[in-house]
Chains A and B, each alone.
Chain A
Amino acid sequence: KQEVTQIPAALSVPEGENLVLNCSFTDSAIYNLQWFRQDPGKGLTSLLLIQSSQREQTSGRLNASLDKSSGRSTLYIAASQPGDSATYLCAVRPGGGADGLTFGKGTHLIIQP
């Protein structure tokens, strides 16, 4: 059974810092990996999607990398802003025709003004 782990569980940094969120998964046979942002009590906003054949994706200040063979992904946030404060969730879509995403428990990020 696929398990997704996110480290750290919580992170608090001053505004302007660059930071890295980590995600690891136990079964490397994945279809793709998505990073989401969730504000308290709100829905999930998709940030980046990386296909299993890709190594990284970039969107604005965000860059996500994928090392499928080692079961790891990282989300890099450049020049952090208070508005980046949220919970960041990593989710993998298994291979073999399965539809459902398996989520990690998230990293709760606070950017201090």
Chain B
Amino acid sequence: AAGVIQSPRHLIKEKRETATLKCYPIPRHDTVYWYQQGPGQDPQFLISFYEKMQSDKGSIPDRFSAQQFSDYHSELNMSSLELGDSALYFCASSFGRGPYEQYFGPGTRLTVT
């Protein structure tokens, strides 16, 4: 079965640089969620989109922005990177915003040096 695809899988950036993470949801899933998991931490919800509109917002820094495109893929844009942004970034998708299971991708490991 098709799963959530994230690219790139690994990314190394320097402080103050920008990064773009991409997420391709499971086919026919119209809702995308972004989470950040720092070293030794539990995942923290950043933001979600339903039918290309932002549907909920968590602890996403102002330096980050995201959007969902007409084909339902999503991109997380991160600017002025800081050392503390080093983490695993997960994308998840579901079919609708209702009480549906969230399926997680393999994650993008971002290292900021």
Which residues does A use to contact B, with CB under 8 Å? Answer: 31-32, 34, 36, 41-46, 49, 51-52, 89, 91, 93, 97-106
Contact = CB atoms under 8 A, between A and B. Distances in A.
A99 B56 contact: yes
Interface string B18-54: 0000000000000101010000011111101010000
A34 B94 CA distance: 13
A101 B101 contact: no
A44 B45 contact: no
B65 interface: no
Interface in B75-110: 88, 90, 92, 97, 99, 101-107, 109
A44 B3 CA distance: 12
B1 to A, nearest CB: 12
B56 A105 contact: no
Contacts of B102: 34, 46, 101
B48 A32 contact: no
19 contacts: A31-B99, A41-B88, A42-B107, A43-B104, A44-B90, A44-B104, A46-B101, A46-B102, A93-B99, A99-B56, A100-B45, A100-B48, A100-B56, A100-B58, A101-B35, A101-B45, A101-B102, A102-B45, A105-B41
A34 B35 CA distance: 15
Nearest to B58: A100
B55 interface: yes
A49 B56 contact: no
A46 B104 contact: yes
